[in-house]
Copies of this chain bind each other. A is one copy, B any other.
Amino acid sequence: MVTIKMIAKSCGFSVATVSKALNGAADVSAETAERIRKAASEMGYLPNAAARSLKTSRSYNFGVLFEDDANLGLTHRFFSHILNGFKHRAEELGYDISFISDRVGGADFSYTEHARYRNFDGIVIASVDYTDHAVVDLVNSGIPVVTVDYVFDNCGSVLSDNVGGVRDLVTYAYRMGHRRIAFVHGEDTAVTRHRVASFCRTCRELGLEQPEEYLVPAIYMDPQTAGVATAKLLELPKPPSCILYPDDISYIGGMNEIERRGLSIPGDISVMGYDGIDVSQMFHPKMTTLRQDADRMGELAAEELVKAVEEGRGYIPGRIVVPGKLLEGETVAKLKVES
């Protein structure tokens, strides 16, 4: 391993001068800077991140906290795209990425302890239970944090436009002539509350009836509970003509229940998904769903985090809302409007 000390010896300069030259400091002559850089390159010099971090207390390393209830973790479709976008943009901006966990060296550590131990310059949080004490603690640790799909007062955040997304879906169904629209929603989270609120408000604004039974709980990414919810809706005395699902996977569970009953989509009942995952556009009938641009969200999270880190105490937390896009498929029937 070649160090600046060895370069210094080889060139006849001091380590101080070598360090400055390599970091492009102004107070070193262009000539010697050139000579030193050449020697460094020839000798195969590489800086040592640990030494640099120790000295400057900057790691140029971001911590990533991605955990979810279902323990889908990195295999979660939405979040794997977030991570993907975050990673690419962070690397462009000069930061590496590591995962934060609740253990270090085999021993239990809090997230905050882990982050301090590794001296992360900043942290992105997604896909977790934001009421978790350990997460709240991390958020308040003083380390710059950007959260995804949740807002803390003192952190930047990148948010999928859930309110707009649900509004667009319901409005689309309305325009297609639907007047009895039901919402199978996910378990209680901040995202779910936003979506449910948007659903109720949009229905009210459109003058739609909102029987309590048209709001049915299920579990995100779980076809099973979505099927049960669907059964409940179909057995209502006055069943809906259109069902909105919490995500595209849940949609599949609903679809199966519908077909099991000999009903057809969209002939007998119309349905809509959420997320716009790849397979949603591959199967027939093509799914009507709302595509979330998760890659873009990840990129924006990286940019916001860099801003938070580099602006330091003067940073004003950004609230970035990323709009989705309605993918008009073939699962919503065009109805004659009821009298």
Contact = CB atoms under 8 A, between A and B. Distances in A.
Interface string A251-270: 01100100100000000000
Contacts of A61: 98
Q: How many copies does the complex hold?
A: 2
Given A98-B98, A106-B94, A283 B252 contact: yes
B249 A118 contact: no
A89 to B, nearest CB: 12
A14 interface: no
Contacts of A83: 74
Contact of A106 (B74, B92, B119, B256): B92
Nearest to A96: B98
Nearest to A59: B50
A53 interface: yes
B249 A46 contact: no
Given A252-B279, A282-B252, A48 B119 contact: yes
Interface of A: 1, 46-51, 53-54, 59-61, 73-75, 77, 80-81, 83-84, 87-88, 91-94, 96-99, 101, 103-106, 113, 116-119, 223, 249, 252-253, 256, 259, 278-279, 282-284
Q: Return the 7 tightest CB-CB contacts between A and B, nearest first.
A: A94-B106, A50-B53, A98-B98, A50-B54, A74-B84, A94-B105, A50-B50
